[in-house]
Amino acid sequence: MNEAFQRPFRPVELSDSTLTSLPVQEMAQQLMTEEAFQTSGRNALTLIRDKNLTVVLTVLKAGAVLQEHHAPAPVTLLPLFGNIVFTADEGRTSTELSPGTTGAFSAHLQHRVEATQDSAFLIVMGGQG
């Protein structure tokens, strides 16, 4: 298998002339082969970092959880494959996300994410926080 990226990976820094594409499906598959995923059930790679935007590719093994936390800016979740459950409001609100669905939430909302299948998703964070 050809590598979709090499470590150390440097996130794209946006400028007035930036135009790029990334093979996110292949990158997710590669993240799932790395030791971090094999031992902890999760792995991530920051793809784009800018003062107003951060994009992180995240992979979770079935049953893996991102424990309750918050983000400093609004977030959009874009599933690539698998199935994740997004829970907020101390477990009172949840939504299931799979490819073809998108979840969004406001800055500072306490939330957790759990994979019900091996999953990959993009976290797009930015905007007015």
CATH code for the domain of 68: 2.60.120.10
70-116 tens-digit pLDDT: 999 999 999 999 999 999 987 789 999 999 999 999 999 999 999 99
What pLDDT band is residue 1 in, cutting at 50, 70 and 90? low
Contact 128, 88 (CB under 8 A): no
Q: Tell me the residue range of the domain where 105 lies.
A: 47-126
Strands (E), 1-129: 42-49, 53-60, 65-69, 75-81, 84-88, 93-97, 103-105, 111-115, 119-126
Tally of structural domains, the chain: 1
Note whether residue 29 is domain-resident: no
Note whether residue 23 is domain-resident: no
Note whether residue 116 is domain-resident: yes
Note whether residue 109 is domain-resident: yes
Note whether residue 90 is domain-resident: yes
